[in-house]
Amino acid sequence: MELKDLLNDYGLVGVISTYKFTLDEDQKVEDLNIKNIDKALKMVNLKEEVKDKYLKDLSLDELFKIDLINKLDKEIIIVGNLSNCLNYKDRDFIKKLLLKLVNNYHKKIIVIDNDVKVFFNLVKVVVVVNGKDILYETKDFYDDNLYKYTSSPKIIELVKYLNKEGRNIQKTTDIYELIKDIYRRVS
Amino acid sequence: MTSDMTIISTNLNKNILKNYSDYNIITTEFTYDDLLKYSKVIFYNVLNNKREEEIKDLFNYLKEHHIAFINVTNNEEQVLLTDYLIIYGKEKILIEGPTLEVLKQEKLLKRLGIALPFMVELSLLLQDYGLIKDIYLDYKSLEDALWN
């Protein structure tokens, strides 16, 4: 299956890879001519003053958000570096926004990151690519083969470790579900 | 303050680096040999694509060669790889100290938008449930504390 087919099926696809911003950092935000910029800035929780800043002076979270709103009118939106650029509150906020763009506005979004945790509660399918070719594709965050290409999130490592030791913990990506299960097993 | 530390920030901005003008800033791929030219280096959000073991090896290498280093990152798991932690917010230091002491200020960190490393967060939550008494950073110690 091709990436385009996966996007048609799921709307949102996670890609394990490194993402580089392609914006020219020597220009100002207002020079990007983002459509309905005031509304777009509000949507990503940025203040209007950002418009006067040079891209090279933006913090990483601002750069991520500008990169996103700069692509809102594209057929396929490609964003990346959530794990590098955003703190956890912003990560949750942006994940909800991306889901809204797919579910309510029928956008197709590719999220590129090396941190699988970013894809929890966001994508139904994760792929590893080499150029345009899909090297590996999975819907299971507990799939060992996925971690040949990137690091495993700690929650997955811990659950696998405990189950190897015979503790019979349910596979989850939610820390609260894990705690409930541990509580049931040890009480 | 130790010479090796991690900086994590509510909104990572290169302006933070002005406070460390005697350090050489690494922002792109590098080799171990490149680093030998320096006595002090800052990794600015450049280690996030490396596996934890690779970063541990790198930090051990720097220590062996007496190169002071600061890891500036948004990756909460990496804070456990150094013993000293500084939290920045709007280019000012908000909290600093030994890593685990800083991480125990869970409520303040969450208010700032800083996530805890998974094992620290899990340990603190399991403490709230009365299941363990300490913070465990490795899986075996946590399992022993829970089941033995």
What is the distance between the alpha carbons of residues B135 and B100, in angstroms, rounded to a whole number?
A: 9
3-state secondary structure of A31: helix
* Portion of chain A with pLDDT greater than 90, in percent: 86
Query: Does some domain include residue A148?
Result: no
What's the mean pLDDT in B24-30?
A: 92
Structure tokens at A67: 């990169």
Subunit contact B75:A83, Cβ cutoff 8 A: yes
| Phi, psi for residue A80 in degrees, rounded to 5 | -160, 170
Structure tokens at B108: 């303040």
Domain of residue A132, CATH code: 3.40.50.300
Question: Between residues 112 and 151 of chain A, which touch chain B (CB distance below 8 Å)?
Answer: 114-115, 151
Subunit contact B118:A175, Cβ cutoff 8 A: yes
> Which residues lie below 8 Å from residue A38, measured CB to CB, with a gap of 6+?
A48
pLDDT given at position A134: 92
User: A134 and A66: one domain?
Assistant: yes
Domain that includes residue A8, residue range: 3-142
> From the centroid of its chain, how far is CA B48?
11
The complex's ipTM? 0.90
Residues of A in contact with B123 (CB under 8 A): none
Beta strands in A17-105 (DSSP E): 76-80
> Residue B87: how many CB atoms within 10 A of its CB?
23
The class that CATH gives domain B5-107 is: alpha beta
**Distance between A77 CA and the closest CA of chain B, angstroms:** 22
pLDDT in tens, B40-58: 999 998 998 889 999 999 9
pLDDT in tens, A37-92: 999 999 999 999 999 999 999 999 999 999 999 999 998 999 999 998 998 889 99
Subunit contact B125:A175, Cβ cutoff 8 A: yes
Residues of A in contact with B148 (CB under 8 A): none
Nearest CA to B92 among B16, B20, B23, B12? B16
User: A19 and A111: one domain?
Assistant: yes
Out of A83, A84, A155, the one facing B118 most closely (by C-beta) is A155
What is the distance between the alpha carbons of residues A72 and A40, in angstroms, rounded to a whole number?
A: 9
- pTM equals 0.91
pLDDT given at position B2: 55
pLDDT in tens, A88-120: 889 999 999 999 999 999 999 999 999 999 999
pLDDT given at position B19: 86
3-state secondary structure of A154: helix
If one counts the domains in chain A, the total is 2
| DSSP string across B94-125 | EEEEEHHHHHT-HHHHHHHTPPPPHHHHHHHH
Residues of A in contact with B52 (CB under 8 A): 151
Query: Does some domain include residue A147?
Result: no
Q: Is the pLDDT of residue A131 over 90?
A: no
Q: Is the pLDDT of residue B4 over 70?
A: yes
User: For residues A87, A91, A93 and A96, what is the CA-based torsion angle, rounded to 10 degrees?
Assistant: -170
User: A119 and A161: one domain?
Assistant: no
Domain residue ranges of chain B, discontinuous segments joined by +: 5-107, 117-148
Residue A35's Cβ-side half-sphere holds a number of Cα atoms within 13 Å equal to 4
User: A110 and A174: one domain?
Assistant: no
Q: Pick the more confident residue, A179 or B49.
A: A179
| DSSP string across A34-53 | -TTHHHHHHHTT--GGGGGS
Question: Between residues 93 and 122 of chain B, which touch chain A (CB distance below 8 Å)?
Answer: 112-115, 117-119, 121-122
pLDDT in tens, B62-78: 999 999 999 999 899 99
pLDDT given at position A130: 83
Out of B11, B112, B142, the one facing A61 most closely (by C-beta) is B11
Q: Are A137 and A126 in contact (CB under 8 A)?
A: yes
Cβ-Cβ contacts under 8 Å between A and B: the total is 81
| Sign (positive or negative) of CA dihedral B47, A78, A175, A170 | negative
pLDDT given at position B16: 85
Q: Is the pLDDT of residue A156 over 60?
A: yes
What is the distance between the alpha carbons of residues A74 and A72, in angstroms, rounded to a whole number?
A: 6
User: A69 and A35: one domain?
Assistant: yes
β-pairing, A133-138 vs B5-9, is: unpaired
Tell me, what DSSP letter sits at residue B12? -
User: Which residue of chain A has the CA closest to B49?
Assistant: A114
User: Is the CB of residue A175 less than 8 Å away from at least one CB of chain B?
Assistant: yes
Residues of A in contact with B129 (CB under 8 A): 179, 183
Q: Is the pLDDT of residue B1 over 60?
A: no
Residue A153: what residue type?
Answer: P
B118-128 and A175-186 helices, crossing angle to 10°: 50
Instruction: Show the 3-state SS of A117-136.
Output: HHHCCCCCCEEEEECCEEEE
Subunit contact B11:A83, Cβ cutoff 8 A: no
Average pLDDT, chain A: 94
User: Is the CB of residue A178 less than 8 Å away from at least one CB of chain B?
Assistant: yes
User: Is the CB of residue B143 less than 8 Å away from at least one CB of chain A?
Assistant: yes
User: A73 and A127: one domain?
Assistant: yes
Q: Terminus-to-terminus CA distance in chain A, angstroms?
A: 46
Q: Are B89 and B9 in contact (CB under 8 A)?
A: yes
pLDDT given at position B13: 81
pLDDT band at A148 (very low <50, low <70, confident <90, very high): very high
pLDDT given at position A34: 95
3-state secondary structure of A146: helix
